[in-house]
Amino acid sequence: MTATRARAGFAVDQKLILIGLLLVINVFFSLASPHFFAVSNYFNILKSCAMIVITGAGATLLMMTGNFDLSAGSNVALTGVVYALLAQAGVPLFAAGCIALAGGTAFGLINGSLVGWLNVPPFIASLGMMYIGRGLALVVSDGSVIVDRIPPSMLRIYQGTLLGMPYLAWFIVFFVAVFMVIQRRTLLGKHALATGGNRNAAFFSGINTGRIVFVLYVIVGALAAFSGILTAARSGAGDPRSGNQFEFDVILAIMLGGTRLQGGKGSVIGTLLGALVVAVLDNGLNMLNVLTFWQSIVKGAILVMAILLNEKVMAGARKRGLARASA
């Protein structure tokens, strides 16, 4: 039967494009810049996109249900500030981290309740929370960077390494793995896909779609909070202005990875690849000492190209009868 083949083919193709794209730009940069092709630099790249991947891993599942979270960036800032404030107040870092995490999770909880239970459109709910969160971050920090009396050990999460690999890289591996499993092997993953694929079907199968969405928002909130802690750890300070436009980088990575805004099929790996493409571009372009304004233009071009190729693949998949060919 063609069906199974079609499915496999589809999945592979789409990843292949990103992988191919990655290879090409990697080769290009390696040739163009003497400093690019080095383990340490790849660690830099991983570090620079760690937060995006970590949050994106969960957000991918959320987008598979047809929802998204614009408040992630504000959550990052708020959590970071709270974390720093607690640390400043002398709370042991671990405890402070837990409290901050709880706070960020609560943030996701509100998002989840608004969208999952009260049926507020995700755009409005999370955009509103984006403003509120940003505002709160500025209020609690009184708009200034929280840095005095912060124990230097805070930096360790960001700068430390394990077996020669930065913690952040390990985190990427860990979270991507976890959420791959969740996506492929768990009820949550299946039901998320069902919710986005055909809400009625999910509903009639007795799946509580509201709860799925709610849970995923909470998860994304927690992940964003964790990213917030990492952000604070990066500078050893809580900056209420950090994580600005973070949510876009996340959504961009997810969509590059081939997950549709409308929900349905999606893949965590795709998100990882998408984030890497952007990160490698940023890093490489800086290596080539390209003027920042050109960088943004090139970035735009590459984005469109990647999506175009995705579309082509989708179309191909459709031709092979994956989706119902409609006029």
Partner 1 sequence: MKKILLAALILSVAVAALVLVGCAKKTDEGYVGGKPTYVVGHIVYTMEAQYHQGIAKQIVEYGKKMYNAKVIVLDAQGKDEVAMSAVENLIQQKVQAISLHYPNTGLTTAAIKMAREKGIPMVTTLIRPSERIAPHVQPLEGPSSQMMGEVAAKQWLAAHPGVTCRVFILDFGKFPQIEEMRTGAFFQGVKNVDPKAVLVGQLNGFSSTEKSMQITLDALQKEPRINIIFGGNDEMGLGALAACQQVGRGKMKDGVPLTEVIAGLDANISAMAQIYNPNSSFKLTHGAVRDNAIAEMDTMIGMITGKIDPKKYAETQVLSREFDYWNSTMEEAQRFLEVNYLFTGSLKDEVAKAAK
Partner 2 sequence: MSDEILVEVRNLQKHFPGVRALDGVSFCIRRNTVHCIVGENGSGKSTFIKTLTGAHQRTAGEILLGGRPFEPRSVGAAIGSGISVLYQELNVVDDLTVQENLTLGKEQSLLGFVRKPRGLEAVKEILLSLDPSIHLGDMVGCLSVAQKQVIEIAKAVSTNCSLLIMDEPTAALSEQEVGRLFAIIRKLKERGITVIYISHKLAEVFEIGDVVTVLRDGQVVDTLQVAEISRACRDVPESCLRIVRLMLGKVVVETYVPRPSTGPARTLLEARNINNTKLRGVSFELAEGEILGFYGLVGSGKTEVARVLYGIDEYEGEILVKGARRDLRGVRCALGAGFAMVPEERRADGIFAGLSVRENIPMMRIGSILAKGLLSRGKENALADRYIASMSIAVRDREQKVALLSGGNQQKVVISKCLNREAEILLMDEPTRGVDVGAKHEIHEIIRSLASKGRGIIVFTSEMPEVLHLCDRIVLMHEGQVGEIVANGSPAANSDHIMSVVAGGR
Partner 3 sequence: MTAMVSSAGRRRSMDVQKIILLAILVGIFVFLSLAAPNFFAIRNFTNILMQVSVIVMIASAANLLMITGNFDLSVGSVLAFCAIMHAYLTKQGMPIWASILACVAIAALWGVFNGVMVGVLNVTPVIATIATMYAARGFAYLIARWDGGANITAGLPQNFAEFGRTMLFGQVPIIILFMVVVFAVFFFIERKTPLGRFSYAIGGNLSAARLSGINVVGVIVALYVLVGALAGLCGIIQVSRVGAAFPNLGQGLEFDVIVAIVLGGTSMMGGEGSLVGMLLGALVVGLAANGLNLFGVQYFYQTITYGVILIGAVLIDLAVHRKA
User: Could you list the residues that contact partner 3 (CB under 8 A)?
Assistant: 114, 118-121, 123-125, 127-136, 138-139, 143, 200, 203, 248, 251-252, 255-256, 260-261, 291-297, 299-301, 303-304, 307-308, 311, 326-327
Q: How far is it, in rounded angstroms, from Cα 306 to Cα 229?
A: 31
Regarding 323 and contact with partner 2 (CB under 8 A), the answer is: yes
Task: For residues 163 and 167, give the distance between their C-alpha atoms in angstroms, rounded to a whole number.
Answer: 9
Q: What b/e sequence results for 225-253 when a residue is b if at least 16 CB atoms lie within 10 Å of its CB, and e otherwise?
A: bbbbbbbbbbbbbbbbebbeebbebbbbb
Give the span between the Cα atoms of 227 and 76, in whole angstroms.
6
As a whole number of angstroms, the distance between CA 80 and CA 82 comes to 6
- x/- mask, partner 2, residues 171-210, rule CB under 8 A, reads --------------xxxx-xx-xx--xx-xxxxxxxx---
Interface of this chain with partner 1, residues 85 to 114, rule: CB under 8 A:
none
Q: Which helix (H) or strand (E) element contains residue 162?
A: strand 161-162
CB of 182 to partner 2, least distance (A): 8
- Residue 201 interacting partner from partner 1, partner 2, partner 3, none (CB closer than 5 to 8 Å by kind): partner 2
Choose among partner 3, partner 2, partner 1, none what residue 177 binds, the Cβ cut-off being 5 to 8 Å by kind.
none
Beta bridge partners of 166: 161
Tokens representing 30 are: 């390696």
> What is residue 238's DSSP assignment?
B
How far is 160 from 167, CA to CA, in rounded Å?
A: 6
Does 8 interact with partner 1 (rule: CB under 8 A)? no
What's the CA gap between 257 and 302, in Å, rounded? 13
Distance between start and end Cα atoms, the chain:
25
Q: Which of 49, 265, 277, 284 binds partner 2 (CB under 8 A)?
A: 265
Choices 2-10, 47-55, 82-90, 101-109; region in contact with partner 2 by CB under 8 A: 2-10
316 forms part of the interface with partner 1 (CB under 8 A): yes
C-beta of 119 vs 161, nearer to partner 1: 161
- Our CB check for partner 3 shows the closer of 156 and 199 to be 199
| Partner whose binding site includes residue 114, from partner 1, partner 3, partner 2, none (CB under 5 to 8 Å by kind) | partner 3
Residue 131 interacting with partner 1 (CB under 8 A):
no
Coil, strand or helix: which one is 288?
A: coil
Could you give the angle at the alpha carbon of 283 between the alpha carbons of 282 and 288, nearest 5°?
Answer: 100
**Contact predicate 101/226, CB 8 Å:** yes
List contacts with partner 1 (CB under 8 A).
Answer: 17, 20-21, 24-25, 28, 32, 35, 38, 40-41, 44, 47-48, 51, 138, 142-148, 150, 155, 159, 231, 234-239, 241-245, 282-283, 285-294, 297-298, 301-302, 305, 308-309, 312-313, 316
List contacts with partner 2 (CB under 8 A).
Answer: 1-4, 6-7, 185-188, 190-191, 193-194, 197-198, 200-207, 264-265, 321-324, 326-327
